[in-house]
């Protein structure tokens, strides 16, 4: 199946806001309204020996500005198109798993220490209120940040790729130190990110919905040169 390339300079931020907004709403809806009884997963050696480090919640919630930076810094409209497809379908697949096989983390075993500063306690209170301990496997937190980092490889921007890859790895590790996820969630999340990057950024075929010359100009390429997406001309 061929997918249309539809994002332009004019609708980039509207499309991005819709994609992120719908993804969050879908996650939140399933997170707070499981239709089956959530199941705990076995705790591995890594899970039990990773300490609870309250301040790493700041790394964990940095995901929200992570996505904003990624989207703003992307240059190619072809890559942005593919990123929107890959990111949104990743959320749909992940949320489908949450719906059919809900999992839960026993984070009630890890109360916030009384000596934690008030502002950090408030941060934890906000997080644990808006994010229930379900929707564990696979970790969309992990899958989404790695997928977002990988898109800079397609643009050939190595410094940005490594910057966001390291940041994504810190976020992935913080899911353990904040006791939000099992190690199995991280591994399956990483696997999903690789699969969806390969599918939408390497294997999928696309077709422009704009005239070829206009689309080339919008993506910053010369009309006489091939653009950066694998496309089929109408």
156 backbone φψ class: left, alpha, beta (φ>0; ψ -120 to 50): left
How high does pLDDT run on average in the chain?
90
Q: Is the pLDDT of residue 219 over 60?
A: no
Q: Is the pLDDT of residue 209 over 50?
A: yes
pLDDT at residue number 212:
52
pLDDT at residue number 208:
83
pLDDT at residue number 218:
47
Q: Is the pLDDT of residue 211 over 90?
A: no
Reported as a single tens digit per residue, the pLDDT across 122-155 is 999 999 999 999 999 999 999 999 999 999 999 9
Reported as a single tens digit per residue, the pLDDT across 69-84 is 999 999 999 999 999 9
Reported as a single tens digit per residue, the pLDDT across 142-197 is 999 999 999 999 999 999 999 999 999 999 999 999 999 999 999 999 999 999 99
Task: Return d(Cα 179, Cα 71) in angstroms, integer.
Answer: 28
pTM of the model: 0.88
Domain boundaries, the chain: 53-107+139-203, 205-234
Q: Is the pLDDT of residue 233 over 50?
A: no
pLDDT at residue number 62:
97
Asked whether the beta carbons of 228 and 221 are under 8 A apart, the reply is yes
pLDDT at residue number 104:
97
Percent of the chain with pLDDT over 70: 89
């Amino acid at each position: 199946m061929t997918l249309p390339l539809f994002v332009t300079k004019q609708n980039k931020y509207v499309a991005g806001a819709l994609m992120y907004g719908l993804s969050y709403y879908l996650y939140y809806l399933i997170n707070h309204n499981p239709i089956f009884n959530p199941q705990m997963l076995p705790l591995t050696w890594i899970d039990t020996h990773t300490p609870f480090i309250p301040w790493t919640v700041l790394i964990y919630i940095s995901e929200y500005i992570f996505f904003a930076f990624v989207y703003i810094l992307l240059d190619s409209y072809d890559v942005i198109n593919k990123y929107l497809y890959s990111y949104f379908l990743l959320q749909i697949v992940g949320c489908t798993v949450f719906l059919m096989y809900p999992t839960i983390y026993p984070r009630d075993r890890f109360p916030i220490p009384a000596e934690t500063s008030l502002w950090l306690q408030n941060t934890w209170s906000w997080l644990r209120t808006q994010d229930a301990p379900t929707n564990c496997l696979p970790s969309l937190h992990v899958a989404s940040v790695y997928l977002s980092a990988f898109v800079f490889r397609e643009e050939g921007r190595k410094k940005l790729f490594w910057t966001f890859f390291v940041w994504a790895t810190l976020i992935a590790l913080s899911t353990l130190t904040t006791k939000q996820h099992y190690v199995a969630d991280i591994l399956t999340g990483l696997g999903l990110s690789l699969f969806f990057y390969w599918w939408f950024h390497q294997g999928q075929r696309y077709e422009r919905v704009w005239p070829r010359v206009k689309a080339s100009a919008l993506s910053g390429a010369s009309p006489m040169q091939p653009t950066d997406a694998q496309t089929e001309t109408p």
